[in-house]
Structure 1
Amino acid sequence: MDSLRDDRAALQACSLTCRSWLPRARHHLFRHIHIDPGPRGIAFRKLIDTNPEIGRHVNDLQISGFVLDKVSPAEVSGNWPTLALPQPNASPRNRGHSSDTTLDHILPKSIDALSGVSSLRLSALSISKELADLLHKYFSAVKTVILTGCRAGAFRDFCYLPRAFSQTECLHIIDAQWLRTVLPPTAETLPGRPPTLKSLVLSRKVDSTTVVIPVPLQSGTYCSPSAALYNI
């Protein structure tokens, strides 16, 4: 079964062969999952809510802020074998909603359902304190976080996100944008414990000076935003 880990069609066939083959097939089929606010996200939530044991197989999760599939959730569910999904009562929320509302719509009801996720990639999402609080409930134990094309109204809003992942060891910030005009919150006002990173990667499209250059605080002292963010 492990030799077929890159052959999705073969794994799907194996998962339908007998019950003893199903767990290992699921291990590879659901190890890497990519969801969005549309039909794919709706189908995934229903899958995990009705089959909670599948959630523990998800190790690498990517969440996109844009819709990947222009089909119904029932059609998307065909990509995941041994699953039959009814058409949802509610239509998927459109891109005009905030990211935290969208993710609340597609994440499982149980906050422990995805506790096995160790690598989380967030792409094209609007960063806010509300989003950080929601992600903290589900993914506080992830080890690797990759942000791609995410946006924040102010750097202060972005500061909440790393604190949501207190056990993160590797943080990659790729093509992220925020405004520099608003000073970041101090370490005392940020919720949670700062992560102690082993690796921090910033792409050249990221305004790294906002992260590493010291800024004056009201007390008259100076603090690097990275110190408040990452316990540096």
Structure 2
Amino acid sequence: MRLSDARVERFIHNNPGDLQEILATEKPETAKIITFDGIYSMEGHLAPVPELVQLAKTYNCFTVMDDAHGFGVMGPGGKGTAAHFGCTDDIDIICGSFSKSLSSIGGFVAGSKSLIEYLRTHSKQTIFSAAITPSQAACAGASLDVIESEPEHLQRLWMNTRRMKDLFNRLGLNTWGSETPAIPVVIGNLESAFRFWKALLDKGVFTVLSVSPAVPPGKDLIRTAASARLSEEDFEIIEGAFEYAASML
């Protein structure tokens, strides 16, 4: 957005009403793009995609959704957040990553054929970028085959997600209303968050410590992510580690 020299207006997180107030002040002929995440990785929140799509139609906006954390996780067969809401055909560009559910490196931009052809010939980021290696492409393709042909992994992912959330709820931990396998544990201040993170690490569980300005002040947190590969033995370690860390709060 900065490279385009466009004026950027920010709306309140997951608040279509605030976005509508901003759009209503713009002239109808002004070109407008609504950009948003399908899943917000820090909070684990789903974007209100149907409401954003409706605003785009009402105010004649182009839409771009980053679904790095939704592709392979949300929707029928892991087809993503837009598919979860039945809005795939209503979003102009859907971006995704190969480094999450596809276990590789790189990413993709999906849209209409004419739009993709335009980006291939006009986007500096594409023209001056090297292609990913054949092995990385093959890895992403193989992962996609697994997602499509072995739905039991997606089912297990959501089973493990529910189990992790149940654990955190039992321990009285704040998960910021996460709706997805990206589950934050909000601690609230840097010192306590660091002690919590270190206690987990001491018990053999690696998590990611996220503090301000990556999160709002007072929302310092531990980032966790459920996985389809978590075993019963893994959960025994996870449960013991979080019980130990929670006892230190």
Fold shared per TM-score above 0.5: no
Provide TM-score, normalisation by structure 1. Answer: 0.32
Provide TM-score, normalisation by structure 2. Answer: 0.30
Higher helix share: 2
